[in-house]
Amino acid sequence: VLWNHLYKKTHDMTKLQKGKTEQLLRVDEHDFTMRPAFGGPAIPVGVDVQVESLDTISEVDMDFTMTLYLRHYWKDERLSFPSTTNKSMTFDGRLVKKIWVPDVFFVHSKRSFTHDTTTDNIMLRVFPDGHVLYSMRITVTAMCNMDFSHFPLDSQTCSLELESYAYTDEDLMLYWKNGDESLKTDEKISLSQFLIHKFHTTSRLAFYSSTGWYNRLYINFTLRRHIFFFLLQTYFPATLMVMLSWVSFWIDHRAVPARVSLGSTTVLTMSTIITGVNASMPRVSYIKAVDIYLWVSFVFVFLSVLEYAAVNYLTTVQERKERELRGKVPCPCGMPHSRTIMLDGNYSESEANSLAGYTRSHIVTDEERQEKMVVHLALSDESNTSRKKGLKSHMGLRIIQNTHVIDKYSRLIFPAFYIFFNLIYWSVFC
């Protein structure tokens, strides 16, 4: 009952006016294919935008998708109508096709559409003095030129550009209605991979050689990438692989299968990490920050493999020289005195007994024989001094230890250089 009472007191404009809406606005009396004040000065068209959501940022396609409310403000005296209450009239998208509206488009857009659920999301509000508010809900995907030289420690600045397609600045003056206040954003806007740092507006003239100068409006926003995801997925695994490659420096150099398999595993894992990161990135022609870290880490892992190759080769060369020297030592049979020389390495008992005329000072166990062998060489008093000189001139007998000296230095050099690299890397890119 209350609703019926209020309904009766409310003026119904469709009943008060004896004609159609087009007749009220005199749509049929004017040619709306031409802009307002055609032939006169440029018509001012104010614009404001409310950003509803920033949907996606694609590094591979180098674009972004944004949903926004785009509103235009202008005055068209052809749409003025008499009103005693000075109230506006609001229409949906069906009237838009019958009147003049600004032909604003998105520069560098790839895809865009006006939402149409449940009907076209278009609103037209006409005031008695001819002022018009034209609002649309649009989703647009536009290009964003991104610089990945600091990826993933980067910040990206993208712009959504608006411009009249047909009217130059002599016919249509496009401007932000309230300056920086013309751009509103939803406080709940957030992205999983980026922190939205700043929204702001700018405007300038754009020149086309064949058509002239046009007013262009910019919606600029700055995005800063969250680093924590990449620390977990890229930097930490790469660092752990480098540290794992250092384990081989503590493994006996005679354990060939263990050290070779460890080196191969770390190299292949680093290759997989590099491939995975580049698969989700555009194929740019410059080096990214993550590339520097991953490839330097790869070099450290690869050098640890080469380090063992050097250790294995040098050990083999030394053992060969020791065997050659042992074969060239003459048999000083019948010499009354003896002198003890210690040869380190793995020698069998048969090899020791093959030195005819050499007396063994004592019998060693099998375990001791694996580490060293004691051989007594009987040297005469007359040839003792000359024998020492002969051995030194041929080759100084050296102790071949189980842990090669290169491994000892590598345990310190590799971590020190990698820590130094990390200090420089993070200080430069952070």
In the chain, domain spans? 43-225, 229-324+415-429
Phi, psi (rounded to 5 degrees) for 244: -65, -35
pLDDT of res. 80: 87
Instruction: For tokens 């608006």, name the residue.
Output: 162
Long-range contacts of residues 420-427, Cβ cutoff 8 Å, at least 24 apart: 421/296, 425/289, 425/292, 425/293, 425/296
Strands (DSSP E) contained in 93-189 are 104-107, 109-114, 122-126, 131-143, 155-164, 172-176, 183-185
* Six-digit token string for 111: 């895809």
Long-range contacts of residues 379-388, Cβ cutoff 8 Å, at least 24 apart: 379/332, 379/335, 379/337, 379/338, 379/339, 380/332, 380/335, 380/336, 380/337, 381/336, 381/337, 383/332, 384/337, 384/339, 387/332
- The residues pairing with 109 across neighbouring beta strands, listed in sequence order, are 142
Omega before 152 within 30 of 0, i.e. cis: yes
- The residues pairing with 343 across neighbouring beta strands, listed in sequence order, are 373
Average pLDDT over residues 301-324: 88
CA dist list (Å): 146 to 149, 158, 160, 281, 397: 9, 8, 14, 11, 64
pLDDT of res. 107: 95
Q: Which CATH superfamily is domain 229-324+415-429 in?
A: Neurotransmitter-gated ion-channel transmembrane domain (1.20.58.390)
- Of 52-56, 143-147, 342-346, 426-430, the range with the lowest mean pLDDT is 342-346
pLDDT in tens, 215-274: 999 999 999 999 999 999 999 999 999 999 999 999 888 888 998 999 999 999 999 999
Average pLDDT over residues 313-328: 83
CATH of domain 43-225: 2.70.170.10
In this structure, are residues 57 and 64 in contact, taking their beta carbons and an 8 Å threshold? yes
Q: Is pLDDT above 60 for 6?
A: no
In this structure, are residues 59 and 146 in contact, taking their beta carbons and an 8 Å threshold? yes
Average pLDDT over residues 97-101: 89
d(CA 53, CA 186): 7
In this structure, are residues 400 and 345 in contact, taking their beta carbons and an 8 Å threshold? yes
Would the CATH topology of 43-225 be identical to that of 229-324+415-429?
no
Average pLDDT over residues 182-195: 87
Residue with the larger pLDDT of the pair 310 and 6: 310
Reference 10, options 19, 21, 18, 2; nearest CA is 2
* Six-digit token string for 214: 């046009």
pLDDT in tens, 329-369: 665 555 444 444 444 444 444 444 444 444 444 444 444 44
* Six-digit token string for 358: 């050499």
